[in-house]
Structure 1
Amino acid sequence: MPLALLALAVGAFGLGTTEFVMMGLLPDVADDLGISIPTAGHLVSAYALGVVIGAPLLAAVTARMSRRKVLIGLMGLFVAGNALSALAPDEHWLLAARFLSGLPHGAFFGVGAVVATSMVAPERKARSVSLMFLGLTLANIAGVPVATLMGQHLGWRATFLGVSAIGLAAIASLAFLIPHDHAHAPAVGLRRELVALKSVPVWLALGTTVAGFGALFSAYSYITPMLTDAAGYADSSVTLLLALFGVGATAGNLIGGRLADHSLRGTLFGGLTSLVVVLALFPVLMSTQWTAATAVVLLGTAAFVTGSPLQLMVMEKASAAPSLASSANQAAFNLANAGGAWIGGLALAAGLGATSPALTGAALAVLGLGVATVATVVDRRRVGVPAGRERVVASHVPEHAEAVRH
């Protein structure tokens, strides 16, 4: 695999760290700024809002720019947002800085996925996307815990300065490792990118993302009360258990990338089916501590098996202009985050029990399977390809791909 994928993974590591670290820093930030925990929680929402708005917007306005320069520019915006977060004098400035930090997130993953797939042979495209996403899953194992500890001992501002340093390392890596072939503007304009979003298969793929990852976040958003109230773990054990989720996510991401290169839809259906089973078994698995720990790993694995297939499917359905659609898929991930958490919260509020968000997640995963089935039927009617026989194709490879393929 090209070394340039390492540069994309470094950027993904920084983005993943800053996205999730705020959850662990909320008490410190609230105490330092003199605000309540719920008010500090708006800082998480501000980042997610930045992702949803920035993903399609930045991908659209940079459609004719060099993808190499776009990636470097997006990481520059990321560094600026985190540096401003560290310097924010009050919650209002911090809210704005967190929004700014979220703007480049989706566009980086979207454009990065296009660049990653353009540097490898057609049969390795899903694997290349999974290697970029590896930075995101590793952030949950190492980046977030280390950044949280840094914030607790050195102050939360030091955490954001540290994340800014990761961003600078990513900029250097992108500048040195991304091939200069990507210094040329791709022959795709904004109008062509926007036309791609009119495709029904694209919207079905995005709908599968929202339902499938909504299933994950319906359960994962409330994993702490499940582990403490249902499984009987102490609060001090939760951080280690969340790291186990990162281990499972990393394994699922790598497995999904390898399998999707052989059967894109087969991997997607297998991952969603596994997610349904794991979530449906949560009430049983959360009854003892060792099975609860196993459930956390299995949840990460089952959910992230679908990550690369979903990203690649959206890109292929918008094969003439994949950057905007690929970035829109990242916005869909964040809509899934917000929507899944909201639906899981409704189950808790209704008094259905600590593990009820997992059951609502199972229902969402079934919905994802339904949307994916409809997408398969639509594709078969259009091209007459039997279900499960799709392989990754090179239809969206940019004009310079052959020059940089290794």
Structure 2
Amino acid sequence: MKSSVPSLMVCVFGITTGEFVIAGILPDIAGDLAVSIPAAGLLVTAYAIGMIVGGPVLTALTARFPRKPLILVLLGITILGNLASALAPVYSVLFAARIVTALVTSTFFANAIVIAVSTAAPGKQASTVSKLVFGMNLAMILGAPIGTFIGNDHGWRSTFLALAACCAAGFLLVARLVPDVRDATPATSAVAELRVFRNRDVQLAIAVTAVANAGLLMVFTFFASLVTDVTGFATGAVAVLLLVYGVGAAAGNFAGGWLSDRAPMRSQLGLLAVLAAALVLMWSASGSMTVTAIMVFVIGALGFSVIPGMQARVLSTAAAAPTLAMAVNASAYQLAAAFAAWLGGRVIDGGLGLPSLYLVGAAVTVAGIGVSGYAWLRDRRTSRLEVA
């Protein structure tokens, strides 16, 4: 059914915008709730922890549930979570609301993909999934900047109200247009699904995704403060710069997929090396608005260029639990986000200053190169043993 994918795309757009937009309104939240920037940055950690815990566990526990009723319940929780965020009187309530909202996010994505693929025409499964992924790209390109504009002009609480409204629209579209795919995946137990984590290759794939993305995510978490307090951009320019970042991310996503198809590990190692160098360049030129604006596009492109290959690696190693693999992939990325927000806060509190985030981010990216290199050597060693 053709209407299924656009309906699910609206939901993916709204949910993913809720994840990314926090980078644009972080200073507003900190000021209004009288907390420090590092404390506000922990809201990213809260969301990440919710996805890390909720994704694999909730996906496994709901593996037998009919898909459409399940995603409607998950969307309802997302709507309530965003409303609670908008109405939060104190920081602790906002923190809890972010965790609750995040708990259902990975499971929604996993089941949305199952539904979309099951309703796709023969031979169109991959392109159908790409359309849902494009909903995530739109969240970065349009959702985060628009949400930031709303937050800057009408207060950060209005951003969460807008997210609730978007998810409510998605709820109505799903209820009306998406079919109930009851037999989309074979019934399995939660224990059987979770056994995938015992696979050493899955563990290494998660480590690669988590470590290699953490450096850039640290910079992205404190993006608004870096470009305003360090570079000198006006608050109103943050949304525009997020748009620039998002355009770079979309371009890098397509380019990275093309490169990964041809030389997965070589391209990943090379792109990570260039990303580390780009972060060092941003540190050295952090006082220049022109250079910073250009580099925002560059790091967006480089950061997202490595994701397709990492996704493919996680999905291939977790093939024994295909639905859970989607949640595992999201959890790996959120491990990076949680660590990045925590480490970034410690760097700032330690007196090193905001600009040092670029250098620490570059160092963490180099660590990601090391983990990726180890994974590559392990793959080559395994291949040689199989041939022998």
TM-score class normalised by the smaller sequence:
0.7 to 0.9
* 1:365 aligns to 2:365 (yes or no): yes
* 1:142 aligns to 2:154 (yes or no): no
* 1:167 aligns to 2:167 (yes or no): yes
User: Helix, strand or coil: the match of 1:197?
Assistant: helix
CA distance in 1, matches of 2:273, 2:117: 26
- Aligned partner of 2:14 in structure 1 is 14
- Aligned partner of 1:84 in structure 2 is 84
CA distance in 1, matches of 2:55, 2:368: 22
CA distance change for structure 1 residues 340 and 91 in 2, over 3 Å: closer, same or farther? closer
CA distance in 1, matches of 2:289, 2:108: 38
* 1:192 aligns to 2:167 (yes or no): no
Contact 1:269 1:369 in 2 (8 A): yes
Spell out the pairing of 1:272-351 with structure 2 (5 A cutoff).
272-286=272-286, 288-348=288-348
CA distance change for structure 1 residues 160 and 347 in 2, over 3 Å: closer, same or farther? closer
Equivalent position amino acid for 1:299 in 2: I
**TM-score, with length taken from structure 2:** 0.82
CA distance in 2, matches of 1:339, 1:84: 25
Contact 2:82 2:101 in 1 (8 A): yes
Percent of residue pairs bearing the same amino acid type: 36
CA distance in 2, matches of 1:271, 1:67: 38
Shift of 1:308: 2.7
User: Helix, strand or coil: the match of 1:219?
Assistant: helix
Equivalent position amino acid for 1:305 in 2: S
Equivalent position amino acid for 1:362 in 2: A
Shift of 1:371: 1.9
Contact 2:319 2:325 in 1 (8 A): no
Q: Which runs of 5+ in 1 are unaligned?
A: 387-406
Equivalent position amino acid for 1:297 in 2: F
* 1:204 aligns to 2:204 (yes or no): yes
- Aligned partner of 1:59 in structure 2 is 59
- Aligned partner of 2:72 in structure 1 is 72
CA distance change for structure 1 residues 384 and 181 in 2, over 3 Å: closer, same or farther? farther
CA distance change for structure 1 residues 250 and 360 in 2, over 3 Å: closer, same or farther? same
CA distance in 2, matches of 1:177, 1:261: 35
CA distance in 2, matches of 1:358, 1:183: 48
Equivalent position amino acid for 1:277 in 2: A
**TM-score, with length taken from structure 1:** 0.79
Per-residue deviation, residues 367-387 of structure 1 (Å, max 9, x unmatched): 22222232233334445599x
- What is the aligned residue count? 384
CA distance change for structure 1 residues 120 and 198 in 2, over 3 Å: closer, same or farther? farther
Spell out the pairing of 1:25-44 with structure 2 (5 A cutoff).
25=25, 35-37=34-36, 43-44=43-44
Spell out the pairing of 1:381-400 with structure 2 (5 A cutoff).
381-383=381-383
CA distance change for structure 1 residues 178 and 188 in 2, over 3 Å: closer, same or farther? farther
CA distance change for structure 1 residues 85 and 188 in 2, over 3 Å: closer, same or farther? same
Q: Which runs of 5+ in 2 are unaligned?
A: none
CA distance in 2, matches of 1:46, 1:366: 26
CA distance in 2, matches of 1:159, 1:5: 25
CA distance in 2, matches of 1:11, 1:149: 20
User: Helix, strand or coil: the match of 1:281?
Assistant: helix
Spell out the pairing of 1:140-289 with structure 2 (5 A cutoff).
140-175=140-175, 181=181, 183-228=183-228, 231-286=231-286, 288-289=288-289
CA distance in 2, matches of 1:123, 1:260: 21
Shift of 1:163: 1.3
CA distance in 1, matches of 2:302, 2:356: 19
Calculate the aligned-residue CA RMSD, in Å: 3.6
Contact 2:148 2:239 in 1 (8 A): no
Shift of 1:240: 1.9
CA distance in 2, matches of 1:163, 1:375: 39
CA distance change for structure 1 residues 231 and 158 in 2, over 3 Å: closer, same or farther? closer
Query: Would you identify which runs of 4 or more consecutive aligned residues in structure 1 move more than 6 Å?
Result: 120-124
Shift of 1:214: 0.3
- Aligned partner of 1:390 in structure 2 is none
Shift of 1:323: 2.5
Equivalent position amino acid for 1:248 in 2: G
Per-residue deviation, residues 28-72 of structure 1 (Å, max 9, x unmatched): 65676x644566665444333322221122112112234454433
Per-residue deviation, residues 127-167 of structure 1 (Å, max 9, x unmatched): 66554333233223322333344345555444333212211
CA distance in 2, matches of 1:353, 1:158: 31
Contact 1:114 1:322 in 2 (8 A): no
Structure 1, 60-69 or 222-231: larger mean CA deviation: 222-231
Equivalent position amino acid for 1:53 in 2: V
Equivalent position amino acid for 2:242 in 1: L
Per-residue deviation, residues 347-397 of structure 1 (Å, max 9, x unmatched): 5556656543222222222222222232233334445599xxxxxxxxxxx
User: Helix, strand or coil: the match of 1:279?
Assistant: helix
